[in-house]
C-alpha cells in the first residue's frame, strides 16, 4: 500500500463496470474453464481498478491455479491504490451485487484478497473475511480492519473493533496506525459514537513508538487536510511534538496551534514547579518530561514579529503577564504601529499612561508619503475615534488621495469620509464629501472599493452608513457600469425607498444588457427586483416616474415581472 497523501474526498476513483470490455466479463463468468482463464489472463495484463469486483468473484474458485491467478490480480490492483482511495472502493464495491462462488474452508488468501472480499455486499462473506483478517498480524490487514470498524452490521464491526483494540496494545503497530491516518480520519468523521471511539483509540496509538516520527512527517507534509488532522491529534495527545514541528511551519494555522500548545505546556510547567500535584496533566502522551522542559528556553519576544497577527497578540499578552511594566513597555510601543488592528488594540490597552492619538499625530508629521508604515498609521489614527485637526486634514491627509499607492489612498479616504475623524461642516477649500466618496467608489483599487462599500452598507464602527442620494449613486453607475463600483451603487439604490428605486433598477438592467453583460451587476439587479415588494401604494410622483421607466426600458424585464410591477403601480 502506498503511504497516505490526502484525504478521500469522494472522487469516483472506482471505475464503472462498463469500463471492463464485455467480452472479458462474459468470458470470466463463462462455464468454460479455458475461456474463463483466458479472460482472467487478459484482465491480469490490464490490471484496471474497474476489474476488481469481477476478479474478486473468482478468489474462492475451486481450481487452485485459477484461484491463485485471481489472488495475484487482486493484490496487484490494490497495491496501486493509495489508502485514501480504499474508502471509495469500499463504497463502490457494495453497489454491485456479484456472488462469490466457493467457501473459505482451509484457504488462506493474502490480506489484500481478504480485504477485497470484505468489501462485498454479502454480510456473511464480509464477516468471514474480517475473521481471517483478524488473524493476520503483518500490518497489511490494518486498513481493511479500519474500514470494517464502521460496518453497519454489528457483528462485523465488533470483530474489527476487537482486532483493532488488540493491535493498539502493540508498540510496533504505532507506525502502522500512523501510516493509515487518512482512513482513521474517515472514522473520526462518522456520526456513530462507537466509530468515533474507535477513531480516538487509533489516534492515540498512532503516536506510540515509531508512529510519532510518522506523525511529524505529516505535520511537515504538503497535504493540508492531513497536516491539520495530525495537528489536531498532537494537540490532544502530544503537544510537545506539535510545538517541536509546528513552530517552524509555514502554515499559519499549524503555527498558531503550535504556539497555543506552547502556552499550554508553559502553564503546566509553572503549575508543576509550584508544587507536586498542583497542576493538571498537560494532555501529552509523554508527561512533563525533558521534551517539555525545553519550552522554557523559548523566548516569546521572537514571536512579536511572526507573520500571523493572532500569534503576535498572544505573544504580547504573554509578555504582559510575565514581565514587568517597564520591560513590556518598549514592545508595546512598537506594537502601536503593528500591521494588525488586534495587536494595536492590545498595545493601547497595555499603555494606559500614553495618549496614542498624540503619538500617531507626531509620527504622521515626520512620515513621508513613501514610508511603508503610512497605511498602518492612517488606520491607527482612525481607530482612536477622535477628530483630527483641520490643519492636519488639509495639509497631510487630503493630498494622500492622489498617492500612487492604493493602501495609502484608501486610508486617506477612510479618514476624510469618517464623521468622527473629519466632522462637518467643511472649512472653505476642503474637499466635498459627496464628490470625494464618488472618487473613492470609482477608484480602481480593491482597497478603496472596500472602504466605500463598508461606508455605503452601514457596516462601519460608529456611523450607520454614508448617506448618498440615489441620483449620485446613479452617476457612479453610469460612469463605470462594468466596474465593481456599479454593483455596489445598484445595491445601495435597491436599499432605498422601493418605488423610488424602481426606475433606476429597470434602466440599469436595460443598460447592463445593452452595453455588455456584467454578471455581478445583473445578479445584483435581478436579486433586487425579485425581492421587490408592492405592499404599499406609490405616491403620484413615484407612479409617474415608474410608469415612464417601464415604458422606455420595460423590455429588459421578463413578462411575468413586468406584469407584477404594473399591477402594483395600478
pLDDT in tens, 114-127: 999 999 888 899 99
Has residue 271 got a pLDDT over 80? Answer: no
Contacts of 310-313 spanning 24+ positions with Cβ under 8 A: 310/256, 310/342, 311/255, 311/256, 311/259, 312/338, 312/340, 312/343, 313/340, 313/342, 313/343, 313/346
Q: Give CA–CA dist 412/176, Å, rounded.
A: 59
Residue 482 binned pLDDT confidence (cut-offs 50, 70, 90): confident
Q: Are 88 and 14 in contact (CB under 8 A)?
A: yes
Give me the pLDDT at residue 278, please. 44
pLDDT digits (tens, 9 = 90+) for 83-105: 778 888 888 887 766 678 778 88
Instruction: Name residue, grid cell 502502522.
Output: 176
Instruction: Name residue, grid cell 423610488.
Output: 500
pLDDT digits (tens, 9 = 90+) for 304-352: 999 999 999 999 999 998 888 888 999 999 999 999 999 999 999 999 8
Q: Are 115 and 87 in contact (CB under 8 A)?
A: no
Q: Give CA–CA dist 159/156, Å, rounded.
A: 5
Q: 484-494 vs 433-442: helix axis angle to the nearest 10?
A: 130
Taking Cα atoms as reference points, which of 20, 25, 14 lies closest to residue 78? 14
Q: Are 58 and 35 in contact (CB under 8 A)?
A: no
3-state secondary structure 35-76: HHHHHHHHHHHHCCHHHHHHHHCCCCCCCHHHHHHHHHHHHH
Residue 284 binned pLDDT confidence (cut-offs 50, 70, 90): very low
Cα separation of the two ends of the chain: 73
Taking Cα atoms as reference points, which of 29, 63, 62 lies closest to residue 43? 29
Residue 30 binned pLDDT confidence (cut-offs 50, 70, 90): low
pLDDT digits (tens, 9 = 90+) for 452-470: 888 877 654 444 445 677 8
Q: Are 333 and 346 in contact (CB under 8 A)?
A: no
Has residue 379 got a pLDDT over 60? Answer: yes
Has residue 10 got a pLDDT over 50? Answer: no
Q: Give CA–CA dist 91/78, Å, rounded.
A: 15
Q: Give CA–CA dist 465/134, Å, rounded.
A: 67
Measured between alpha carbons, how far is residue 328 from residues 161, 320, 321, 352 in Å? 54, 6, 9, 13
Asked if the peptide bond before residue 425 counts as cis, ω within 30 degrees of 0, the response is yes
Give me the pLDDT at residue 142, please. 95
Give me the pLDDT at residue 32, please. 63
Query: Which cell numbers hold the place of 489?
Result: 451603487
Give the range among 21-30, 396-405, 440-449 with minimum mean pLDDT. Answer: 21-30
Give me the pLDDT at residue 270, please. 65
Q: Give CA–CA dist 275/30, Å, rounded.
A: 78
Residue 507 binned pLDDT confidence (cut-offs 50, 70, 90): confident
Amino acid at each position: 500500500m502506498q503511504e497516505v497523501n490526502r484525504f478521500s474526498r469522494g472522487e469516483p476513483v472506482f471505475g464503472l463496470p462498463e469500463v471492463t470490455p464485455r467480452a472479458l466479463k462474459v468470458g470470466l463468468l463463462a462455464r468454460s474453464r479455458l475461456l474463463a482463464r483466458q479472460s482472467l489472463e487478459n484482465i491480469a495484463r490490464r490490471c484496471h481498478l474497474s476489474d476488481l469486483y469481477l476478479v474478486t468473484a473468482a478468489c474462492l474458485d475451486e481450481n487452485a491455479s485459477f484461484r491463485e491467478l485471481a489472488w495475484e490480480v487482486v493484490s496487484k490492483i490494490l497495491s496501486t491504490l493509495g489508502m485514501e482511495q480504499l474508502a471509495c472502493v469500499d463504497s463502490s464495491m457494495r453497489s454491485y451485487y456479484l456472488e462469490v462462488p466457493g467457501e473459505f474452508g482451509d484457504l488462506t488468501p493474502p490480506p489484500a484478497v481478504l480485504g477485497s472480499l470484505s468489501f462485498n455486499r454479502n454480510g456473511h462473506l464480509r464477516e468471514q473475511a474480517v475473521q481471517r483478517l483478524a488473524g493476520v498480524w503483518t500490518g497489511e490487514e490494518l486498513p481493511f480492519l479500519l474500514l470494517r470498524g464502521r460496518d453497519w452490521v454489528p457483528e462485523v464491526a465488533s470483530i474489527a473493533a476487537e482486532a483493532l483494540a488488540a493491535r493498539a496494545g502493540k508498540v510496533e503497530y504505532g507506525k502502522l496506525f500512523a501510516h493509515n491516518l487518512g482512513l482513521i480520519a474517515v472514522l473520526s468523521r462518522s456520526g456513530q459514537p462507537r466509530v468515533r471511539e474507535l477513531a480516538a483509540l487509533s489516534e492515540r496509538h498512532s503516536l506510540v513508538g515509531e508512529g510519532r516520527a510518522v506523525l511529524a512527517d505529516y505535520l511537515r507534509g504538503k497535504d493540508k487536510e492531513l497536516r491539520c488532522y495530525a495537528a489536531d491529534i498532537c494537540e490532544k495527545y502530544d503537544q510537545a511534538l506539535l510545538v517541536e514541528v509546528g513552530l517552524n511551519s509555514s502554515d499559519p494555522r499549524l503555527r498558531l496551534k503550535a504556539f497555543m500548545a506552547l502556552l499550554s505546556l508553559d502553564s503546566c510547567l509553572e503549575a508543576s514547579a509550584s508544587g507536586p500535584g498542583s497542576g493538571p496533566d498537560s494532555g501529552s502522551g509523554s508527561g512533563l518530561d525533558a521534551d517539555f522542559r525545553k519550552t522554557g528556553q523559548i523566548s516569546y519576544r521572537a514571536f512579536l514579529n511572526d507573520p500571523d497577527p493572532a500569534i503576535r497578540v498572544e505573544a504580547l499578552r504573554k509578555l504582559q503577564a510575565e514581565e514587568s511594566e517597564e520591560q513590556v513597555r518598549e514592545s508595546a510601543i512598537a506594537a502601536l504601529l503593528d500591521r494588525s488592528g488586534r495587536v494595536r488594540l492590545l498595545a493601547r490597552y497595555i499603555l494606559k499612561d500614553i495618549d496614542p492619538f498624540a503619538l500617531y499625530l507626531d509620527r504622521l508629521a515626520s512620515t513621508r508619503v513613501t514610508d511603508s508604515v503610512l497605511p498602518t498609521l492612517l488606520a491607527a489614527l482612525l481607530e482612536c475615534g477622535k477628530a483630527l485637526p483641520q490643519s492636519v486634514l488639509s495639509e497631510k491627509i487630503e493630498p494622500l488621495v492622489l498617492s500612487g499607492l492604493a493602501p495609502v489612498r484608501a486610508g486617506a479616504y477612510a479618514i476624510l469620509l469618517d464623521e468622527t475623524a473629519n466632522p462637518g461642516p467643511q472649512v472653505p477649500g476642503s474637499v466635498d464629501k459627496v464628490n470625494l466618496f464618488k472618487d473613492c467608489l470609482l477608484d480602481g483599487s480593491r482597497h478603496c472599493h472596500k472602504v466605500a462599500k463598508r461606508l455605503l452598507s452601514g457596516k462601519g464602527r460608529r456611523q450607520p452608513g454614508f448617506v448618498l442620494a440615489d441620483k449620485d449613486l446613479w452617476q457612479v453607475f453610469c460612469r463605470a457600469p462594468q466596474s465593481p463600483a456599479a454593483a455596489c451603487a445598484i445595491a445601495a439604490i435597491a436599499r432605498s425607498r422601493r418605488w423610488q428605486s424602481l426606475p433606476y433598477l429597470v434602466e440599469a438592467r436595460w443598460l447592463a444588457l445593452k452595453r455588455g453583460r456584467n454578471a455581478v451587476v445583473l445578479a445584483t439587479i435581478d436579486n433586487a427586483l425579485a425581492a421587490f415588494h408592492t405592499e404599499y401604494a406609490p405616491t403620484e410622483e413615484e407612479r409617474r416616474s415608474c410608469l415612464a421607466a417601464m415604458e422606455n426600458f420595460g423590455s429588459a424585464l421578463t413578462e411575468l415581472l413586468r406584469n407584477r410591477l404594473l399591477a402594483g403601480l395600478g
